[in-house]
Amino acid sequence: MTEMSEDYRRVTGRTRESKDRERQTLVATEGNNSSKVSDVMQEVVRRENLKQALKRVCANKGTAGVDGMNVEALTPYLKEHWPAIREELLEGTYMPQPVLRVEIPKQDGGGIRALGIPTVLDRFVQQAILQVLTPIFDPLFSEHSYGFRPGRSCHQAVKAARMHVEAGYRYVVDMDLEKFFDRVNHDVLMARVARRVKDKKLLLLIRRYLNSGVMIEGVEQVRTEGTPQGGPLSPLLSNILLDDLDKELQSRGHRFCRYADDCNIYVKSEAAGARVKRSITRFLIKRLRLKVNEEKSAVDRPWNRTFLGYTMTLHREPKLKVSPKAVERLKKRVREIMRKGRGRRLVDVIGELTLLLRGWINYFRLSQVKAAFEELDGWIRRKLRCVLWVQWKRPKTRAEKLRKLGIDKVRALTSANNGRGSWWNAGASHMNAAITANWLSRQGLVSLLAEHRRLERLI
């Protein structure tokens, strides 16, 4: 029990030293509040801050906004126009341009996610603001908030969630905020920003960013609510708003994990979960003017829910594992790569696959249940064998390829002329014997199971 509590404090940051640092930061921030009244915008346009912002925006690359300017053109543009832009920022007359609406499919396949892409100039200004506001707000955020914060990560949130369940809180209130980034009330949000920031010109600029229009098919539409996903400032603003939710949950003594608008509250009984869900829903509606998606929210067992792509087993000491939805999302991505691979060299297909698989297994390296990795390895190998069988096309070519790969002549001829489909042949013994796991590994294919074991040794 002592060992678990030590782990819990390490993951959540709940140590005496971290709390002391938070209190010291709070005192220092409040003590310097008088300087922040007039000097925040000066900090935004400070040379060192701008150099860091420019470096970050250029590193992130990204799509051009409504003006068509790409990241490569930003530095030359600033060299020519920055003095005038700086003056507008300090005088409070700078006007952001509309954001470009871009629609992408949601990862879970449940519809479309609308992004608002600012121009590269506005991304640069937002990044400069973000770098100044983060030290003001972040130290005061809850230790149970993990999204879009320096030194915080998805993995910390997942570990903390597992520890809550291990501690006996074996029901979860899974709160889903309906279209959160599209529904943020500007007045409610700006009131919370103004608690810490007194610089009226900066507040006006943030309000203008919130109100800047959305360009849809060449027509600008006015926005009266929401903070567009796609700008550097949006994640911090969302944390500022939802910090009220964190503080409310803390004041009630609840165990919870929040990553952006994804909030899980852990309780000991289903009845307690139902009460918490009702009261927190009322709080979100009345205090923050946010709407809860009742269809996606639920009181359930943690092993029946997904949190940041992970779920867990129902053991007394639960184990983390990859959620079935995350497995299906990976399979969808692999199928897309395979469809493009029918006219390409196998090594090129494997090269593209490897980039995807290494990133995926690195994210899911916390999984303690390895069955999904083993199953995926076999499925991916069969998909690659299927690609080869289709590429070989004719029975004569298939027989020749099989013989070159070590299959005897009679068996190669029989297999090449069996009349079965490509998927059946990809799983048949002759293709497994010809295109072995070792052979694919020599072509560069990464094994999820082997890579997970390697990462485990490094953790």
Cα gap 279→226, rounded to integer Å: 24
Q: Facing residues of 263 across strands?
A: 175, 258
Q: Which amino acid is at 120?
A: V
| pLDDT for 181 | 82
Q: Which has the closest alpha carbon to 363: 322, 316, 324?
A: 322
SS3 124: helix
Q: Six-digit token pair at 166?
A: 């291990």
For the chain, 459 residues long, give each residue's pLDDT as a single digit of tens. Answer: 334 444 444 444 444 444 444 444 444 444 444 334 347 999 999 999 999 999 999 998 888 888 889 999 999 999 999 999 999 999 999 999 988 877 776 665 556 667 788 999 999 999 999 999 999 999 999 999 999 999 999 999 999 999 999 999 999 999 999 888 888 999 999 999 999 999 999 999 999 999 886 766 555 556 667 777 788 999 999 999 999 999 999 999 999 999 999 999 999 999 999 999 999 999 999 999 999 999 999 999 999 999 999 999 999 999 999 999 999 999 999 999 988 766 788 999 999 999 999 999 999 999 999 999 999 999 999 999 999 999 999 999 999 999 999 999 999 999 999 999 999 999 999 999 999 999 999 999 999 999 999 998 886
Distances (CA, A) of 417 to 356, 399, 400, 431, 432: 35, 8, 12, 13, 17
| pLDDT for 16 | 43
Q: Which has the closest alpha carbon to 255: 237, 241, 242, 273?
A: 273
Q: Which strand (E) or helix (H) includes residue 132?
A: helix 120-137
Burial (CB count within 10 angstroms: exposed 0-12, middle 13-18, buried 19+), residue 395: middle
| pLDDT for 38 | 47
Distances (CA, A) of 405 to 99, 315, 351, 395, 432: 55, 46, 21, 15, 11
SS3 89: helix
The pTM of this model reads 0.84
Q: Facing residues of 200 across strands?
A: none
CA end-to-end distance (rounded Å), the chain:
22
The four Cα atoms 235, 238, 244, 250 give a dihedral, to 10 degrees, of -40
Q: Six-digit token pair at 63?
A: 């799509």
Cα gap 51→46, rounded to integer Å: 9
